[in-house]
Amino acid sequence: MEFGVGGGLLGLIWLIIVIWAIIQVAGSPAGAGAKALWILIILLFPVVGLIIWFFLGPK
């Protein structure tokens, strides 16, 4: 299965967004347990996890 340049570029952009979200979670004032849970949610459910973090994550 080939995705071409466009698919590879979208995958790279998505990877950067997920890494950015994990860095944001790690730098948040939340406790260690909450951070671990948020990171797990983002990794297991990337689309939903990012959206939930954006709206409900610690500010």
| Torsions phi, psi for 39 (to 5 deg) | -65, -40
Confidence of residue 51 (pLDDT cuts 50, 70, 90): confident
Q: Is the pLDDT confidence value at 1 over 60?
A: no
This prediction's pTM = 0.74
**Residue 58 falls within a domain, yes or no?**
yes
- Which residue range is the domain that position 42 belongs to? 31-59
Residue 45 confidence (pLDDT) above 90: no
Residue 14 domain flag: no
The domain tally of the chain equals: 1
CA separation, residue 22 to residues 14, 19, 51, 54 (Å): 12, 5, 13, 12
Q: Does residue 48 lie within any of the structural domains?
A: yes
Cα Rg of the chain (Å, integer): 13
Q: Specify if 51 maps to a domain.
A: yes
On whether residue 45 sits in a domain, the answer given is: yes
In-domain check, residue 57:
yes
Q: Which two tokens stand for residue 51?
A: 């959206």
The conformation of residue 27, written as its DSSP 8-state character, comes to T
The Cα 22–Cα 36 span in angstroms is 10
pLDDT of residue 59: 64
